[in-house]
Amino acid sequence: MPKVTVDGQEIEVPNGATVLQACELAGKEIPRFCYHERLSIAGNCRMCLVEVKPGPPKPQASCALPATDGQEIRTNTEMVQKAREGVMEFLLINHPLDCPICDQGGECDLQDQSMYYGRGASRYHENKRAVTEKYMGPLIKTVMTRCIHCTRCVRFSEEIAGVDEIGALYRGEEMQITTYLEQAAEHELSANVIDLCPVGALTSRPYAFEARPWELRKTLSIDVSDAVGSNIRLDSRGRHVLRALPRINDEVNEEWLSDKGRYMVDGLTRRRLDRVWIRDKKGKLQPASWDEAFKAIARAKPQGSIAAIAGDLVDCETMFAAKRLVNALGSNLLEGRQTGLNYPTGSLAGVAFNSTFAGIETADAILIVGSHVRWEAPLVNVRLRKAVKRGAKVFIVGPRWEPTYPAEFLGDEVGILHRLPSHVTDAFANAERPAVVIGGAGLAAGAFDAALALDHQRPGWNGFNVLHMAASRMGSLMLGYARPGGITDIAAAAPTVVLGLGADEMDWSLFGGLKVYIGHHGDKGAHAADIILPAAAYSEKDGTYVNTEGRVQFAERAVFPPGDAREDWTILRALADALGVSVGFDSFAQLQSAMIAEVAALGEEGIVSLGALPKPGETRADGRIASYPIQDFYLTNPIARASVVMQECSAELVHGQVLEAAE
């Protein structure tokens, strides 16, 4: 490892490190605009200039200069200071001084660095260049005159998203960043370029002119739009969540977030259930009180015949409270796979993403069975792309979709798992870290045992992965929300009362008893229910979530529920009193303690120890995967379906309706 001296301090740096990274290891702050840790080095902005000896007697771009043994690096000389002032002056030549009206104001790198490293006044008095705005879709607002040509957005689209949608036209001062033919950016991670843009050239269109960062209350939370469990920050003002931003977690989402997880938050205030409803004898829903609703449920006499169905967005505490209530009433009818999936759940290792998201990057042969990964888990797709860039070969069983990396489709017959082509079996036999990823369509087609029987294990490596799509799925399986026959088993039991915990994707016609919906949006479940009890959305309660890796994570409450809506556990606790049973908790802290006492793994953040894989069964995979569960990426849950932004994205990006021309 080379040793370098930074401002008189000798340090040892890793092989391959740059001078900029060496300076940061020494605790020195180096200004930059184009450099980003997760993107390739461009060396465009020249803001990171330092003085290096031995070397030419001039400032050098530290981001592109390798650190070598014996280097003497100076970051605070007069030469460096004047060079940075000069670079900043050039960057601001054409930049409009519109900070008071810029949405980037208050969290702008250019603003901050110009105050610290820039001159007090500009010497440029000529006419400034103006650039016409570009249309990049319903999510990205452009003010391209602010652009400093750092090309972060271009490199993100090419290197991370794997979609060549954003590029540069012309050269020099006339260079312009735009999308291909000025069409909308269509990939599922497009809005991450907003976070990457350091100058306010790309800002959030839905959030435009809504608030300033210092006005917002910031709350740490977990994204529930898929089963990845992306770490997010909810920014709220009053009782409204105004935006969701990604938090850095290298093990889960790195620092990215899917467009759906970022922008479905406007749906939190639309189509909300904020009062109790009871369906009358004529079949019409009528407003009612909590007491009336509880008495109506009690009259149904659910003792010994009550079921709880967990929806896709539910936290573990809600599911545990419902389980306690159902068990106290003498029943064990619990199910979380509301769409009808039925696969063995005896071993949690057999239903988890065992390679982990970080681990799948190191796989060298990957077989995807029945999963449209780009839509089911966009951030897992980013990890698969990294694996391919490292040399991994990817094979896909299922209908064709557009992967962002080279992949071979093997057809849509799941029976091929029993007779894989020789080049596929050879790739797995010669692989040091082979991996299988089975999605919802593969599970529905009965491919579980066949996928489990494939060659995917090595010493210290478990390559069997189930990619869930529901944020609640792993938590529900850990809490016992799984019947041997799936939801058909629940229907066959004909429960007197069915509690739907935000269950909006299930077929409610399977049940003939009293249907009680405990949820937050007037979606499919509310339309089918006899009694509606308004509950809190994920942003309105503390909760525990377990992602598809088996990683336990905690989310905090950002705002309060609207109207008469209550947190789910309080509803279930009050219902227990109305039914004359005890559930063993009177507060959220007691509820959590009881849950952790039953399932200890839910009490500590991190990946749960799931044990060894089960032995594959003898069920043969036979049949065809006709389609994937997700038909519209932007409308997969009740919050997203209520979101105006998601509806616009669906109309324009999925269905091709042109809603808005370039500004």
Give 11's Cβ-side CA count (13 Å radius). 19
Q: Is pLDDT at 663 greater than 50 in this prediction?
A: no
pLDDT, mean over the chain:
94
For 598-606, the CB contacts below 8 A with 24+ separation are: 598/320, 599/478, 599/479, 601/478, 601/552, 602/316, 602/475, 602/478, 602/544, 602/546, 602/552, 603/552, 604/552, 605/551, 605/552, 605/553, 605/554, 606/551, 606/552
Query: What pLDDT is stored for residue 123 in this prediction?
Result: 84
Q: Is pLDDT at 183 greater than 90 in this prediction?
A: no
pLDDT digits (tens, 9 = 90+) for 274-330: 999 999 999 999 999 999 999 999 999 999 999 999 999 999 999 999 999 999 999
Q: Is pLDDT at 660 greater than 80 in this prediction?
A: no
Q: Stretch 227-242: mean pLDDT, rounded?
A: 96
Q: Stretch 121-130: mean pLDDT, rounded?
A: 83
Q: Is pLDDT at 368 greater than 70 in this prediction?
A: yes
Amino acid at 60: Q
Query: What pLDDT is stored for residue 623 in this prediction?
Result: 87
Q: Is pLDDT at 361 greater than 60 in this prediction?
A: yes
Query: What pLDDT is stored for residue 192 in this prediction?
Result: 96
Query: What pLDDT is stored for residue 359 in this prediction?
Result: 96
> Given the structure tokens 């639309």, which residue do they identify?
270
Query: What pLDDT is stored for residue 478 in this prediction?
Result: 96
Q: 662 falls in which pLDDT band (50, 70, 90)?
A: very low
Query: What pLDDT is stored for residue 659 in this prediction?
Result: 60
Is the bond preceding residue 54 a cis peptide, omega within 30 degrees? yes
Query: What pLDDT is stored for residue 564 in this prediction?
Result: 96
Query: What pLDDT is stored for residue 496 in this prediction?
Result: 96
List of residues 6+ apart from 317 with CB closer than 8 A: 542, 543, 544, 568, 569, 588, 591, 592, 595
Q: Stretch 542-562: mean pLDDT, rounded?
A: 97
Q: Give phi and psi for 167, each to the nearest 5.
A: -150, -170
Q: 129 falls in which pLDDT band (50, 70, 90)?
A: confident
Pairwise CA distance, residues 36 & 49, whole Å: 15
Q: What share of the chain has pLDDT > 70, as a percent?
A: 99
Query: What pLDDT is stored for residue 588 in this prediction?
Result: 97
> Given the structure tokens 């932007």, which residue do they identify?
634
Query: What pLDDT is stored for residue 128 in this prediction?
Result: 85
pLDDT digits (tens, 9 = 90+) for 260-278: 999 999 999 999 999 999 9
pLDDT digits (tens, 9 = 90+) for 329-348: 999 999 999 999 999 998 99
Structure tokens at 435: 């991996």
State if pTM tops 0.75. yes
Pairwise CA distance, residues 377 & 225, whole Å: 9
pLDDT digits (tens, 9 = 90+) for 102-125: 999 999 999 999 988 888 777 888
DSSP state of 27: T
Reduced DSSP (H G I as helix, E B as strand, rest coil) percent helix, strand, coil of the chain, to 5:
30, 20, 50
Query: What pLDDT is stored for residue 171 in this prediction?
Result: 87
Query: What pLDDT is stored for residue 181 in this prediction?
Result: 81
Q: Stretch 134-142: mean pLDDT, rounded?
A: 93
Give 191's Cβ-side CA count (13 Å radius). 26
Q: Is pLDDT at 656 greater than 90 in this prediction?
A: no
pLDDT digits (tens, 9 = 90+) for 11-53: 999 998 999 999 999 999 999 999 999 999 999 999 999 999 9
With beta carbons less than 8 A apart as the criterion, state whether 334 and 326 touch.
yes
* DSSP codes joined into one string, 479-506: TT---TTTHHHHHHH--SEEEEES--SS
Q: Is pLDDT at 661 greater than 60 in this prediction?
A: no
pLDDT digits (tens, 9 = 90+) for 460-491: 999 999 999 999 999 999 999 999 999 999 99
Structure tokens at 306: 């009550």
